[in-house]
Structure 1
Amino acid sequence: MPNIARMYFITAICFLIAGILVGLKMSIAHDYAAVGAHAHINLLGWVTMALFGAFHALNPRGAATRLAKIQYYVYTLGVLVMTPALYFLLTGNPSLEPIVAVSSLVVFAGVLMFAAIIFRTRAG
Structure 2
Amino acid sequence: MTRLPIFFLTTATIFAVLGMLWGIQMSASHDHTLSPAHGHLNLIGFVALAVFGFYYALTPEAARSGLAKLHYGLSVATVLVLVPGIVLAITERGETLAQIGSLLAVLTMVLFVFILLRHGFGTTDADNRRPVAGNPNPAE
- With normalisation by structure 1, the TM-score equals 0.92
Unaligned runs of 5+ in 1: none
2:69 corresponding residue in structure 1: 69
Q: Matches of 1:96 and 1:3 in 2, distance apart? A: 37
Give 1 or 2 for the bigger CA radius of gyration: 2
Which structure features the higher share of helix residues?
Answer: 1
Partner amino acid, structure 2, of 1:76: V
Offset, 1:38 = 1.1
Kindly provide the CA deviation profile for residues 69-104 of structure 1, in whole angstroms up to 9, marking residues without a partner as x. Answer: 0111012101111112212432x2x23311100111
Task: Give the AA of the match of 2:106.
Answer: F
Match for residue 21 of structure 2? 21
Q: Which residue of 1 aligns with 2:35?
A: 35
CA deviation string 1:28-49 (max 9, x = no partner): 1101111111110101001110
**CA contact 2:88–2:95 (8 Å) conserved in 1:** no
Whole-Å separation in 1 of the counterparts to 2:79 and 2:36:
13
Q: Could you say which residue in structure 2 is the equivalent of 1:102?
A: 100
What is the rounded CA distance, in whole Å, between the counterparts of 1:98 and 1:87 in structure 2? 11
Say whether residues 1:113 and 2:111 are aligned partners.
Answer: yes
Give the unaligned 5+ runs of structure 2.
127-140
Aligned Cα root-mean-square deviation (Å) = 1.4
Alpha carbons 1:26, 1:32 under 8 Å: kept: yes
Identity level (%): 32
TM-score relative to the length of structure 2: 0.82
Q: Distance in 1 between matches of 2:55 and 2:75?
A: 15
Distance between the aligned counterparts of 1:95 and 1:42, measured in 2? 23
**Does the 8 Å CA contact 2:78/2:104 hold for their aligned counterparts?**
yes
Tell me, in whole angstroms, the C-alpha distance in 2 between the residues paired with 1:57 and 1:96.
38
CA contact (8 A) 1:86 1:96 kept: no
Describe the superposition over 1:11-55 as per-residue Cα deviations: whole angstroms up to 9, x where unpaired: 001100110111011101101111111110101001110110000
* SS of residue paired to 2:17: helix
Larger relative contact order (Cα-Cα within 8 Å, sequence gap ≥ 6) = 1
Within 1, Cα distance between the matches of 2:69 and 2:62? 10
